Chain A
């Protein structure tokens, strides 16, 4: 136990001395700080738009990006949504397109009445062009089916 502690301390000291040597050479290279993203909002939007616009995008990538977007503290810009819908068209997955619009609607949170109509208005040309229905048109804005309790299903 004592030996292990000594070794640990020794390793730590070595690390510190290395650090000091390094600092002389390259100042600031070894500071223990979290790295902050310097990406602007425009760059972020452009990155996701370009990601969805890639010709060779597959189901996995599209869904991962959508899930990621849903995990962020933002509502995707209409241009990202449009790019995503077009990606769904290339993947031949209309369910994914509807689901993503639903997810964007959920992302509006308490401002749903303000943000969601704006997004719908912006993506309307794309919806008409691709023949995608909004969740409202499909009746998915309100609960449609009830899910039986799993404990009742196989009872």
Chain B
């Protein structure tokens, strides 16, 4: 029974899907059109002129792929005039018009892409800030939290430890005792 109802549900779902599809077709929206309208939403009336990075209609400035897939700006009446003029002799275009046409197609020049941003200053500043906080923390811990060092860190104790290591002839081949002259009672030259 349950299986049956599942079947009918499946059927009704298919029917619904078909109905939606038919409605979409009647409205003139197929899947392809939906995607095209999504693209259109993103790029507006900007002209698609090339392959770009991966065939997608995105604008980006990149040194190793200098020609993006679409133009940077949408067409405006001003640009339309310039584009008509561009069809004629380029010598008749003024420098400003050429630059306007360039900025219509591209956002940044290649030297602008390469221009340093100065971000490194902020990075260095924040790093030093972090290091200083760590140093202050260490100092405060040293002053107020840690107990004093154990007695074994006192110079007399350390000397006595070294003397005992020599007396025990520790590491006599190439270590400590090998450097001690036991006949003269001092370090070897």
Q: Is A77 close to B, CB under 8 A? A: no
A133 to B93, CA, bound (A): 10
Residue interface bits B35-60, CB-to-A below 8 A is 1, else 0? 00000000000000111100000000
Residues of B within 8 A of A64 (CB): 50-51
- Establish whether residues B50 and A63, one from each chain, have CB atoms under 8 Å apart when the complex forms: yes
Q: Is B166 close to A, CB under 8 A? A: no
- Establish whether residues A141 and B111, one from each chain, have CB atoms under 8 Å apart when the complex forms: yes
Residue interface bits B55-96, CB-to-A below 8 A is 1, else 0? 000000001111100000000000000010011011111010
Q: Is B177 close to A, CB under 8 A? A: no
Residue interface bits A113-155, CB-to-B below 8 A is 1, else 0? 0000000000000000011110101111111111100000000
A98 to B97, CA, bound (A): 13
Residue in B51, B90, B92, B114 whose beta carbon sits within 8 Å of that of A132 in the complex: B90
- Establish whether residues B49 and A60, one from each chain, have CB atoms under 8 Å apart when the complex forms: yes
Total A-B Cβ pairs within 8 A = 102
A145 to B18, CA, bound (A): 54
Stretch at the interface among A13-21, A30-38, A43-51, A88-96: A88-96
Residues of A within 8 A of B157 (CB): none
Q: Is A8 close to B, CB under 8 A? A: no
A92 to B86, CA, bound (A): 6
Q: Is A22 close to B, CB under 8 A? A: no
Residue in B65, B66, B93, B99 whose beta carbon sits within 8 Å of that of A102 in the complex: B66
Q: Is B171 close to A, CB under 8 A? A: no
B98 vs chain A, min Cβ distance (A) = 6
- Contact of A71 with B64 at beta-carbon distance under 8 Å, contacts A94-B98, A143-B111 already known: yes
Q: Is B180 close to A, CB under 8 A? A: no
- Contact of A138 with B102 at beta-carbon distance under 8 Å, contacts A63-B67, A99-B66, A102-B66 already known: yes
Q: Is A59 close to B, CB under 8 A? A: yes
Q: Is A67 close to B, CB under 8 A? A: yes
Q: Is B110 close to A, CB under 8 A? A: yes
Residues of A within 8 A of B109 (CB): 102, 135, 140, 143-144
Known: A94-B102, A106-B66. 6 other contacts (CB 8 A): A60-B50, A64-B51, A138-B99, A138-B102, A143-B109, A146-B112
Name B residues whose Cβ lies closer than 8 Å to a Cβ of A: 49-52, 63-67, 83, 86-87, 89-93, 95, 98-99, 101-102, 104-112, 114-115
CB-CB nearest 3 A-B residue pairs: A63-B50, A131-B91, A131-B90
Name A residues whose Cβ lies closer than 8 Å to a Cβ of B: 59-60, 62-64, 66-67, 70-71, 89, 92-96, 98-100, 102-103, 105-106, 130-133, 135, 137-147
16 interchain pairs, CB-CB under 8 A: A59-B49, A60-B50, A64-B50, A67-B50, A67-B65, A67-B66, A96-B105, A98-B98, A99-B110, A103-B110, A105-B110, A135-B109, A140-B109, A143-B109, A145-B108, A147-B112
